[in-house]
Amino acid sequence: MNKRNQKTLVKAGALLTTVALVLTACGGKDEAAPKGNGDAGVNQGPLQLTMMLPTYNAEQMPADSSVLKSLEEKTNSKLTISWVPSSTYSDKLSATVASGELPKTFVALEPKASNIVNAARSGMFWEVGPYLKSYPNLSKMSDIVLKNVSIDGKIYGVYRERDLARFGLMIRQDWLANLGLQAPKNVDELYTVLKSFATGDPDKNGKQDTIGLAVGMQGNNIAGFKDILVYMGGPNEWELKDGKLVPAHMTTAYLDTMKFYKKLYDEKIINQDFALVQDGRAVMNKGQAGLWIDNMLDGRNIEDSIKKVYPNAKINLINRISGPKGEKTRAGAGYLGMYVIPKTSVKTEAELKQILAYFDKVSEKDNQNLMKYGIEGKQYTIENGSYKPNQDPKIKAEITDGNQFMIMQDQVVNYGSELEKLSTKLFQDNATIAIANPAAPFISNTEIEKGKELSKIIADATVKFIMGAITEADWKMTVDKWQQSGGSKVIEEFNAEYAKVAK
């Protein structure tokens, strides 16, 4: 397996030690790779490849798409695609896996879903981990992400790459300028800036009608909370302490983060209706707040939205906030689904290698950009260095859901705005300070079964604490309830899995 990311992520601290330990169990240096190389299948004629993919658009990519034809030529393949609406994809996949009548490859959007885990354990899918190092592009896959998609320490698919650490601050640069403030560099300065945004009339309208931080709910999660938790020295979902995995909400840093948010709430620095707001970006888009914390790709759209109300608004991006443990940020999953190869449809190692060779070719620079933008001169043109998409509906349709074919995205050309280019740069910088979730490689059957119920117990109590509806003593009772409701079993199961690779 590739060791590139271990070098960049070593700064993230002790939590990443887990990854190194796990990697050893996942076909390490002493495990011989299967015979053959990444060129397997090149001279065997076009690969006949059936696949099932989710579509996020009302109209599918046409079968005679010029972009699809170009991809087939470049990868020496003939692709037969079964498109399934994303809204019904999970149900369709479950039924397809249960039937055993599978295409040669399909995207598992949730690799740790119980039906995928059970199928992998039953031997339904090829284990591809030992083969990856034989392919020039697939061998560059992140060790961190490979472990995130692993099942019992084995890799059963080729993940679809996403930036490992996208999170950061989107801040009103014009408000900072109006108040004569510098961008915050640590948690204390962050509070000072937020307080000033709420009380210092940053929009210069003579009214105290602004707030510092826009907050809303993302499912059970408070937007930005997990990021502030890491800034304040807390873990990313789970903490590895004294050789044991501990859930984030059982750490001192989690309690400190709740107290920080309660202070923001009590001082009206955040929107008081945050528990009812489904998308905190709406508060930001109206020009009412000075800061939003989430995926920094949101920056351009937020700035564009605010400019419709306040034409002189300007958003800046910040990815480094220092706390008790220095500059840290949280790593995400680093993928969006993975391609799985069923043994019931692909019966020989030779055909498996041919499919992996296809995925490797899809990850070449030209093909990455082909499936992102289409064919230059047809789907788009470059005029004076600027990207101009073709607005003809028929031409645009030929690149519909093209990104569903993509594996690696590390060589995609960024034709975006200055904010989008900055976000790409900061994503790369984030990777050097990102804290991984040390429990991500492992599976808890109890968590699969009761995870939503258990997370709701903690999420509801977190909101209530911030709003002053419960005390610290009540919070401790909630944690006890979580443990008694199955949380203790989750901790036990994750630690049992960790113990297998920590020896």
Reading the block at residue 363, the tokens are 């990850």
Q: What is the CA 54 to chain-centroid distance, rounded?
A: 18
Confidence of residue 38 (pLDDT cuts 50, 70, 90): very low
Q: Are 227 and 330 in contact (CB under 8 A)?
A: yes
Q: Express as a percent the part of the chain with pLDDT over 90.
A: 83
Q: What is the DSSP string of 123-184?
A: T-B---GGGGGGSTTGGGS-HHHHHHH-BTTB--EEEEE--S--EEEEEEHHHHHHHT-PPP
Kindly state the helix (H) or strand (E) to which residue 480 belongs, with its residue range. Answer: helix 472-482
Q: Are 495 and 244 in contact (CB under 8 A)?
A: yes
Q: What is the DSSP string of 41-100?
A: TTTS--EEEEEEEEE-SSSPPPTT-HHHHHHHHHHTEEEEEEEEEHHHHHHHHHHHHHHT
Residue reference for tokens 């948690």:
187
Task: Tell me what the mean pLDDT of segment 393-407 comes to.
Answer: 95
- Angle, CA of 192, 195 and 201, to the nearest 5°: 120
**Per-residue model confidence (pLDDT) at position 25:** 37
Rounded CA gap, 83 and 199, in Å?
A: 52
- Across 139-176, b (16+ Cβ under 10 Å) vs e yields ebbbbbbbbbbbbebbbbbbbbbebbbbbbbbbbbbbb
Q: What is the DSSP letter of 207?
A: S
The superfamily (CATH) of domain 167-330 is Periplasmic binding protein-like II (3.40.190.10)
**pLDDT, tens digit (0-9, with 9 covering 90-100), for 335-358:** 999 999 999 999 999 999 999 999
The model's pTM is 0.81
How distant, in Å, are the alpha carbons of 162, 390, 445 from that of 404?
12, 20, 29
Pairing relationship of beta strands 221-222 and 326-327 according to DSSP bridges: unpaired
**Per-residue model confidence (pLDDT) at position 54:** 95
Q: What is the CA 84 to chain-centroid distance, rounded?
A: 22
**Per-residue model confidence (pLDDT) at position 13:** 38
**Per-residue model confidence (pLDDT) at position 144:** 87
Rounded CA gap, 224 and 215, in Å?
A: 7
Q: Are 492 and 440 in contact (CB under 8 A)?
A: no
Rounded CA gap, 493 and 49, in Å?
A: 38
Rounded CA gap, 349 and 341, in Å?
A: 11
Chain-wide mean pLDDT for the chain? 91
How distant, in Å, are the alpha carbons of 69, 265, 285 from that of 369?
15, 45, 31
**pLDDT, tens digit (0-9, with 9 covering 90-100), for 274-318:** 999 988 999 999 999 999 999 999 999 999 999 999 999 999 999
Residue (of 312, 263, 311, 315) closest to 289 by Cα position:
315
Q: Express as a percent the part of the chain with pLDDT over 70.
A: 91
Pairing relationship of beta strands 105-108 and 47-55 according to DSSP bridges: parallel
The superfamily (CATH) of domain 4-164+333-417 is Periplasmic binding protein-like II (3.40.190.10)
